[in-house]
Structure 1
Amino acid sequence: MSLGLGDGPGRPSRSTRADASLRRRRLYAIVAVLVVVALGLAWTRLRDGGASAGSSPSASGSTGRQGSGPSELLAFSVTGAPNALLAVVGTGGGQPPAGLVLPPGMTVIVPGQGETPTEQVQALPGDSMRISVSNAVGVWAPHYAVMNLNGFGDTIDRVGGLTVNLADIYTVGGSVLGPGRTRMSGNQVVTFLYENAEDTAIRWASVLEAFLKAAPAVSQSDLAETDDAAGAAAVLGAASGAEVQVAPTKVVGATAIVPAQPDLDDLVKRLFGTPTPVRAFVQNGNGNPGIGEAVARHLLPQGFRIVLTGNAESFTHDTTIITAIGADHLDDANRAKNALGVGTVRVSQVPSGLADVTIVVGRDFKG
């Protein structure tokens, strides 16, 4: 049976055709967006894969690797100037490379010694310097490296000098340099940093940022002290483009310069992706010398900062007593016990206002 002219479906109206056309255009737009997103994701994966393949290796195999953990830190010191460099440099762990300069004159807590200015920290042996710097920033530095200022200048000359972003106008060896991006030779950098100036920390931060950007090849012979030349060189080599900041400070008692908290911990967390450290008060209860540094070597890698050290009321404690200040810090006290390998854990509900955990080190701790 055939259909006549008026028997079948009629032609769609103009408004119906317009609606269909609009729906098609919307569909095409959605498809186009999905294609762009898919291409972007593919490019990102390809780029990240290439970057990971070319990252600088470290002794532990983690430096420069993209991930989700905190940076791996190097305690880095350059000695030989009235106000020399004391800093940490971090790379890897999914964090951008970064550096933090501890300004001259800042008083920090050195485990086993108490309050100590950064100038005296620089004079410590490399391992003790590493422990002191780690305690100051609240993050453990697995490696340390020490250079002298002249050797630092020689390393700079090997890469053809540095382009330093100077904060002001300076007269260096008869030349007027700055402000802004300025090319400097190794000898100019040494002269610039040797001067005992009020803005020494800013000078060091600008030079360190330029030094890391140049990514010089640092060898064993360039270092006065290190625990691992390859590990230190890997961190320095992977830190090109690092943001370098100066640790925030405040003045107390009209004379003492101390870290400004919580600003310092907030800055360290932003730069290196690390948690706020647990505060520990450590007392020597066995009379053995050097117990503070020995305890710090165990505690600091587990996320602690020693905020106060001293002697217990007596040196006759056979057992190490670890006290959590409030039940909220019981887990921290147990972590301290595990780190030390000895001790009895207690809980006190009396707030100290100074620490989260107190430790009286007994004769059972062998270091």
Structure 2
Amino acid sequence: MAAPILVIIVVLLTQLGGGKPAAAPRPVGNAAEGGQVTYLLVGMRNGDVSGQADHPLTVFIPTATLTEIPGYGYDSAGKAMALGRVPLTEITMENLLGIEIDHTMLVPDSMMSRLVDRAGGVSVTIKTPLMAQRGANRLVPVFQPGTRRLNCATAVRFLQYVGPDEDELARFDRARAIWEGLFARYAGTEAPGLARIVAGFGSSLITDASPADVGAFFASFAGAGSDLRSYRSLPVSAVGSGEETAFRMDQQRYDGDLGALLAPSRPAGATATPVRVQILNGNGEPEIGLQVAKLLVPAGFRIADTGNAANFGFRRTRIVAYSDAGLPAARRIRALLGVGSIEIGRTPQSIVDVTVVVGADFVPAGQ
């Protein structure tokens, strides 16, 4: 049996800047800061949120990764924060990666600045000059090469920096440098100091875990040592063209590497090949697809498509399997929803295994 792991998704909100003009910031999530969201999916083997990490792992997930946002359709992962804040972000990541996320944490620029300030600054090594555009044809250095001590303000600027010709992936090495600089300040037996700082933020932490547990979690990363900490990027490939780069996850590479590492966090009902579900709104209720996804994704189903049915006049929920082999999955879905008539669809589908047309008889939990 695989060792248990804990998964926390950390959403770092930063306003882009530095090397090229940034888009105007908009309110995002539970904070009113900056427009760019960087995801850090943090997992650890063994122990619980307050335990010691064994080979802790940080996974960077580009916000421009195209995926199904349950209830909203196919879009970049970062849009989930604007559309539905942390809860939608969480289920979007669970659906994309096929895992259960145990806790969430939102880190605005202001919180990151306070963390670095309490730590007394962080040291990073900059390999090449980081240039900013000044005027049409002039570049000037904003960060020079070498080992630099960054205070709270410059650390945030370092995280915010995007070079003139960089895409989102280029920011990950700088994020890693900041986290490593922070962990290095509290290496080994000094790790409890980081726990005290983080826990000391108390109710200002935007998380569903207790401040003490969050502090212990980050301290366990520092205490594990740099030789045991590892960093990965979600395997993606660039798609499309134009000024804004988009990415698509390489499912085969993910399954063979990160997916295997995160296997202990798969939902209990997940199958080796996830059942792909299409959710169609047949009753006109806003966000009904999201409510259905909240029941299906934790049970191991993969939401492959969401949208509207041909009309909103469906009184009863229909669950359509496209082969006899899909009937067991359809029955599981009916049990999870508590309603639904099961049918066999005669038109083969290539991207979904089961379609759910949500009717007026479906009542979301808590209503």
TM-score (norm 1): 0.69
Greater gyration radius: 1
Which residues in structure 2 correspond to 1:191-340 (within 5 Å)? Answer: 191-197=157-163, 198=166, 199-208=170-179, 211=182, 216-217=194-195, 218-219=198-199, 221=202, 223=204, 225-230=206-211, 232-233=214-215, 235-240=217-222, 241-254=228-241, 256-273=246-263, 274=266, 277-340=274-337
2:251 is paired with a residue whose SS is coil
CA contact under 8 A between 2:14 and 2:38: conserved in structure 1?
A: no
CA contact under 8 A between 2:122 and 2:149: conserved in structure 1?
A: yes
Measured in 2, the distance between the counterparts of 1:363 and 1:146 equals 35
2:144 is paired with a residue whose SS is strand
- C-alpha deviation, 1:161, in angstroms: 4.0
Provide structure 2 residue ranges, at least 5 long, that are not aligned to the other structure. Answer: 17-35, 48-53, 133-140, 223-227, 267-271
2:357 corresponds to which residue?
A: 360
1:147 corresponds to which residue?
A: 107
2:15 corresponds to which residue?
A: 81
Measured in 2, the distance between the counterparts of 1:254 and 1:171 equals 24
Measured in 1, the distance between the counterparts of 2:354 and 2:116 equals 45
1:12 corresponds to which residue?
A: none
Whether 2:93 is the aligned partner of 1:133: answer: yes
Which residues in structure 2 correspond to 1:88-127 (within 5 Å)? Answer: 88-92=41-45, 96-123=55-82, 124-127=84-87
Q: Amino acid of the residue matched to residue 193 of structure 1? A: L
Two-structure CA RMSD over aligned residues (Å):
3.3
- C-alpha deviation, 1:258, in angstroms: 2.4
- C-alpha deviation, 1:162, in angstroms: 4.2
Measured in 2, the distance between the counterparts of 1:246 and 1:361 equals 36
- C-alpha deviation, 1:235, in angstroms: 4.4
- C-alpha deviation, 1:291, in angstroms: 0.9
Measured in 1, the distance between the counterparts of 2:346 and 2:292 equals 24
Q: 1:332 to 1:207 in 2, by over 3 A?
A: farther
Measured in 2, the distance between the counterparts of 1:120 and 1:129 equals 8
1:257 is paired with a residue whose SS is strand
Q: Amino acid of the residue matched to residue 75 of structure 2? A: T
Q: Amino acid of the residue matched to residue 258 of structure 1? A: R
Q: Count the aligned residue pairs.
A: 299
Give the one of 109, 116, 119 matched to 1:159: 119
CA contact under 8 A between 1:171 and 1:177: conserved in structure 2?
A: no
* Post-superposition CA distance 1:335-365 (Å, at most 9, x none): 3333323223344475422123221112222
Whether 2:174 is the aligned partner of 1:187: answer: no
Measured in 1, the distance between the counterparts of 2:349 and 2:183 equals 42
Measured in 1, the distance between the counterparts of 2:42 and 2:182 equals 12
- C-alpha deviation, 1:148, in angstroms: 0.7
Measured in 2, the distance between the counterparts of 1:318 and 1:85 equals 41
Moved more, 248-257 or 140-149: 248-257
Q: 1:349 to 1:294 in 2, by over 3 A?
A: same
1:97 is paired with a residue whose SS is strand
